[in-house]
Amino acid sequence: MDRQFKKEVQDACKFLRETGKRCVDERMAAIMRGEDVPDDILTYVVKTKSKQSGQVCSASASCANFDFVNFLVATKIVNGI
C-alpha cells in the first residue's frame, strides 16, 4: 500500500469515528433532556447500550459509537457503496 492511500484510509476512518461520536453524543443528550427523538437505528443502539450499562454515560457512548459506525459501514458495503 502506498503512503498516500494509507493516509486517506486513516483520515476516512477518523472522520467516521468523529462523526459517529458526534451523532451518538447529540442523541444521548437529547434522550437525557427528555426530548422526542426519532425512532431509528441510532436511538435503538443508544438505548440498548444504555440498558446494558444501566445508565446513559460516556462508556455507553463509546460502545454505541462503535456499533453505529459498524452499522453504517456494513450498510454501505451491502448496498454497494
Provide the pLDDT for residue 55: 54
Listed residue (72, 75, 67) closest to 46, CA to CA: 67
pLDDT above 80 (res 29) = yes
Q: Is the dihedral of CA 47, 49, 51, 54 positive or negative?
A: negative
Provide the pLDDT for residue 36: 95
What angle in degrees, to the nearest 10, is found between the helix axes of 3-32 and 41-53? Answer: 70
Task: Count the neighbouring beta carbons within 10 Å of the beta carbon of residue 43.
Answer: 15
0.85 cut: is pTM over it?
A: no
pLDDT above 70 (res 76) = no
How far apart, in whole angstroms, are the C-alpha atoms of residue 62 and residue 47? 13
pLDDT per position as a tens digit, 40-54:
888 888 888 776 655
Per the prediction, the chain carries an average pLDDT of: 77
